[in-house]
A and B are shown apart, each in its own frame.
Chain A
Amino acid sequence: MIEFSGEFDSDHPPDELWNYFTDPDILAQCAPGCDHIEQVSDSELEATVSVGVGSVKPTFDVDMTIVEADRPNRLVMEAGGDASRNSFEAVAEMDLAENADGGTTANWHAETNVSGLIASLGQRALGSVADRLVNNFFDDLEDLADEGVPAESKVSAKPGATASLEE
């Protein structure tokens, strides 16, 4: 299992930012390598995402489930994806808190199991790339919020869902 975590500061208050994190159209624009996102139900999304390291860039069919959606404080998602000769499962959680400047500090944490060829790249390689991708995602999302692109919260937690990775 690989763990990632980080912190992100936004100029926008949590309640405003929440709409961006829970609008599939916004996510599709910001998620690195995301081709499209389709909303299957209130709490389930399907996406096609192409991520990779250099020439190695498998395209994953990803299923996401919203496990917790405590507006505007906490969002937990479970995701799994398959690509040719690669697969992953992941749990990502994010806590939003208003900071002293009236903006938001978001703390995120993700755990993932990766298998297949991409796993052979090793944790260090994946870690440095993942950091970059996550930061790009937050930067792009902040840009959309700065530009005032409208966002609407369209997801809710799946009743009774819990998230954990199989060891």
Chain B
Amino acid sequence: MKPAPFEYHRPTTVGEATSLLADLGHDAELMAGNQSLGIIMANRLATPDHLVDLNRVEELAGVDIREDEVEVGSMTTHRDLELHDELREVLPILPLAAEQIAGPSVRNQGTVGGSIAEADPAGNYPAALVALDADLHVTSGDDGDRTVPAREFFIAYMFTDLAPEELITGVTVSRDPFPAERTGMVFEELKRAAQTFPTVSAGTAVRVDDPAADAPEIEEARVALACVADVPLHVPDAEDAVEGTTLDEDALDAAADAAIEDADPSPEMHADEDWKIELAGEYTRRSLQTAYERASNDDAPDN
């Protein structure tokens, strides 16, 4: 099927884009990398009267690594993150999340902001950003700029805090909790086939006190899971279970149990509810283990 007729707008600045949104309101849809919206429109699940294409808004694309934080523009593509060597040094979870999204053609077009705005519970960035406790930045013509913690942004299945006239400009992640030399990060997915959506995924970060020690102690842990609830699932009890430990079996068991307790997945055709709950525990365990290994040995490769 082809999409219903719509009027196409191609602003070149954020200001132009937000004033278009302010004028058009509910009748308009923002288009970023167009890796999901086009399909939805071609099936006429969505029939917006106006499409506002952000691909020429250059100010929205790019990665800025500052001393205290990393800023990623909303129109940065998955491919840009995947290939960003410096980002892989300081915040590897984002390149790791990016490189596992679909296939190369999707990654060339798909964007960070598009993924966040779509808020599919299977999405990689939502879980990674919830794990990192990132801030999302949004703007609108009438109300100006607003910052929303990623942990508050995702409200329900494909349902976010974003108002119709708002656009996501980017995300910032504080580098302070994650000094590269003492931190290990993981984005681990289970996929039944290459280039499909994951059945479950885990975004995990671990900071240790002394990476050279025989059994370093975990100072801080972050765990978020995708695909096991109707929003990216932050699992603070799993973090509490391993912080202050050397990640022994008891701590791992407790962390996995916490994830199992919090998981509330929708069954899928190939994965029933019970199995997905079990996977939530297993991927919490695995991702913590790998993150801990990476944190504990600065010579280890990041992936």
Asked if B119 and A54 sit within 8 Å, CB to CB, the answer is yes
A125 in contact with B157 given A54-B118, A54-B119, A57-B26 (CB within 8 Å)? yes
Measured in the bound complex, the distance between the Cα atoms of B29 and A122 in whole Å is 23
Tell me what chain B mostly uses at the interface: helix, strand, loop, or mixed: loop
- A7 to chain B minimum Cβ distance, whole angstroms, is 18
Asked if B46 and A57 sit within 8 Å, CB to CB, the answer is yes
| CB-CB nearest in chain A for B267 | A124
Return chain A residues, CB-CB under 8 Å to B26: 50, 57
Measured in the bound complex, the distance between the Cα atoms of B155 and A39 in whole Å is 33
Asked if B45 and A129 sit within 8 Å, CB to CB, the answer is no
- B126 to chain A minimum Cβ distance, whole angstroms, is 13
Measured in the bound complex, the distance between the Cα atoms of B29 and A18 in whole Å is 37
> Does B47 reach chain A (CB closer than 8 Å)?
yes
Measured in the bound complex, the distance between the Cα atoms of B40 and A122 in whole Å is 16
Measured in the bound complex, the distance between the Cα atoms of B209 and A56 in whole Å is 47
Asked if A54 and B266 sit within 8 Å, CB to CB, the answer is no
Asked if A55 and B159 sit within 8 Å, CB to CB, the answer is no
Return chain B residues, CB-CB under 8 Å to A124: 157, 230, 266
A114-133 residues at the B interface, CB under 8 angstroms:
117, 121-122, 124-125, 128-129, 131-132
Other 11 A-B pairs with CB < 8 A, given A53-B157, A54-B40, A132-B159: A53-B159, A54-B119, A54-B158, A54-B159, A124-B266, A125-B156, A125-B157, A125-B158, A128-B156, A129-B157, A132-B155
- A10 to chain B minimum Cβ distance, whole angstroms, is 22
- B226 to chain A minimum Cβ distance, whole angstroms, is 15
Most chain B CB neighbours (cut-off 10 Å) among A54, A84, A125, A132: A54
> Does B70 reach chain A (CB closer than 8 Å)?
no
24 A/B residue pairs, CB under 8 Å, sorted by A: A50-B26, A53-B159, A54-B118, A54-B119, A54-B159, A55-B29, A55-B40, A55-B45, A55-B46, A55-B48, A56-B45, A57-B46, A85-B44, A117-B44, A122-B266, A124-B230, A125-B156, A125-B157, A125-B266, A128-B159, A128-B230, A129-B156, A132-B155, A132-B159
> Does B37 reach chain A (CB closer than 8 Å)?
yes
Measured in the bound complex, the distance between the Cα atoms of B159 and A121 in whole Å is 13
Measured in the bound complex, the distance between the Cα atoms of B136 and A139 in whole Å is 24
- A31 to chain B minimum Cβ distance, whole angstroms, is 14
Measured in the bound complex, the distance between the Cα atoms of B146 and A81 in whole Å is 35
Measured in the bound complex, the distance between the Cα atoms of B48 and A46 in whole Å is 24
Using a CB–CB cutoff of 8 Å, the interface residues on chain B facing chain A are 26, 29, 37, 40-41, 43-48, 118-119, 155-159, 230, 266
- B182 to chain A minimum Cβ distance, whole angstroms, is 38
Measured in the bound complex, the distance between the Cα atoms of B48 and A57 in whole Å is 9
Return chain A residues, CB-CB under 8 Å to B45: 55-56, 117
Measured in the bound complex, the distance between the Cα atoms of B52 and A79 in whole Å is 34
A132 in contact with B40 given A55-B46, A125-B230 (CB within 8 Å)? no
Asked if A56 and B40 sit within 8 Å, CB to CB, the answer is yes
Asked if A128 and B157 sit within 8 Å, CB to CB, the answer is yes
Measured in the bound complex, the distance between the Cα atoms of B48 and A53 in whole Å is 13
Asked if B46 and A56 sit within 8 Å, CB to CB, the answer is yes
Return chain B residues, CB-CB under 8 Å to A84: 47
Most chain B CB neighbours (cut-off 10 Å) among A55, A57, A125, A132: A55
Return chain A residues, CB-CB under 8 Å to B43: 117
| CB-CB nearest in chain A for B159 | A129
Return chain B residues, CB-CB under 8 Å to A128: 156-157, 159, 230
- B291 to chain A minimum Cβ distance, whole angstroms, is 29
- B87 to chain A minimum Cβ distance, whole angstroms, is 28
A19-41 residues at the B interface, CB under 8 angstroms:
none
- B274 to chain A minimum Cβ distance, whole angstroms, is 15
Measured in the bound complex, the distance between the Cα atoms of B48 and A121 in whole Å is 19
Most chain B CB neighbours (cut-off 10 Å) among A84, A117, A121, A124: A124
Return chain A residues, CB-CB under 8 Å to B159: 53-54, 128-129, 132
- A129 to chain B minimum Cβ distance, whole angstroms, is 5
